[in-house]
Amino acid sequence: MKTIPLLLFSLLLAGLPAAAEDRPNFVFLLVDDLGWGDFGCYGAEFYETPNIDKLADQGMIFSNAYAACTVCSPSRAAILTGCYPARIHLTDWIKGHVRPRAPLAVPDWNMRIDHERVVLPEALKEGGYSTGFFGKWHLMPIDAEDFEEHYPTDHGFDLNVGGREWGQPKGPGKYFSPFGMPNLDDGEKGDYLTDKLTDAALDYLDEQSKAENPFLLYFSYYTLHGPIMAPPELVKKYQEKAKGFDNKKNELLNPKRAGMVESLDNSVGRLMAKLEELGIADNTVVILTGDNGGDYPETSGGLRDYKAFSHEGGVREPFVVRWPGEIQAGSSSDVPVIGTDFYPTLLKMAGLPARPDEHCDGLNLTPLLKGEVEDLDRDTLYWHYPHYHRTKPYGAVREGDWKLIEFFEDGALELFDLANDPSESKNLAEEKPELAQRLLKKMQDWRKSVDAQMMTPNPKHVPKKK
């Protein structure tokens, strides 16, 4: 059993932060539009991800990890707040789709994180951490008067490189220079966004390695969101690989997207090499996950549907954690976890007091990561999407291996046994009506408990002609 230094033990008992040298650094890697089947360690064969696979071999990999929403802004807010999107009323990507003639009207939802909330980087800063943000933010109320008050640096980050209102690259060169992003060097013609953001992150690591305080490097990749663009040499590589490729797993044989995945993998490899070079790898927790499913059905690793859909392919995510000395290398877990869990988990890792009034819906995962328990004191996860997208508005609940989906327009129910039917091919709602109604009641009670916003009949609805 690992012993705890007496001073550190005393500080933890007192609820005080541990000394800087006893607290780990954090590198949090959040990938946009990441499909459950995009990495080699999750079964990909066309895409090549040796650095990410190595990271998984050095830590724990999860098979039932979830984003808090099937689209980006809500799931990103859930990570930072530790709250379900339904609780904070930030339930769609900013600023969402408009369906003025749809049967149901969308509620007046929140397009920002309220400043009254102490979010994860703010809590770490109060505990002595330096905080740096790199990449996609997409948590700003685009047309509101307080637009300028919601950059990453307004929510606990000391530094913002690349974060603005955009949900995807919209600069003159998109993924290629010039980028048009805050504090990001445009570089030279042909420079690639993922590489340039990684350059900036490496500079940040260099600076932080000389500082006394521990740090949070929050790298929120724009990739793999469209427009699908990759360095020409990688596109050519996968164009050749696609020729004659035996596509047994029905993967997306898109050379440009495959190049984006490899550039992501190269970024992870460069970050890990820098941690080793600086001598801080053993005291740095590395977390890698995604914000929602991939934007193509073939990226879901055999799960049903993809981004913005109510089924597993839209919300189940890769999740890898490396924590040297604490997590057994090569370990795995099938326990369901969700994006709200990161906030309390990082606080616990940092030796900082929990903030249950803030991260209301998250659980501390450290006992699970360290192998001290085999399960969590929770059997239920929830989703709430009162919006229109590729799917109709819905709510969902997973209890154990059972998942129920309720579609708000007509009350239709879908019930799936994920243990025996992970691809959600057989709706059991009519075969098991009592179970379906019990889960529906449980979800309805949960919605009331978090004050979830509900849809209302739309007076402007125009029924489609038959």
Coil vs helix vs strand at 34: coil
31: its two tokens: 């990938």
Asked if residue 297 has a cis previous peptide bond (ω within 30° of 0), the answer is: no
Q: Catalytic annotation on 69?
A: no
What percent helix, strand, coil does the chain show, rounded to 5?
30, 15, 55
Q: Are 13 and 6 in contact (CB under 8 A)?
A: no
Handedness of CA 90, 63, 363, 132 (dihedral sign): negative
Q: How far is CA 241 from the centre of its chain?
A: 30
Task: Write out the two tokens for 412.
Answer: 């239709």
Contact at 8 Å (CB) between 68 and 78?
yes
Please say if 138 is a catalytic residue. Answer: yes
Q: Is 7 helix (H, G, I), strand (E, B) or coil?
A: helix
Q: Which of 72, 225, 311, 387 is catalytic?
A: 72
- The DSSP annotation for 74-140 comes to HHHHHHHHSS-HHHHT--SSSS----TTSSEEPP----S--TTS--HHHHHHHTT-EEEEEE----S
Q: Cα separation of 14 and 9, whole Å?
A: 9
Sheet holding 402-407, edge to edge: 380-385, 394-399, 402-407, 413-417
Contact 437, 402 (CB under 8 A): no
Q: Exactly one of 89, 138, 225, 311 is catalytic; which is it?
A: 138
Catalytic residues: 72, 138
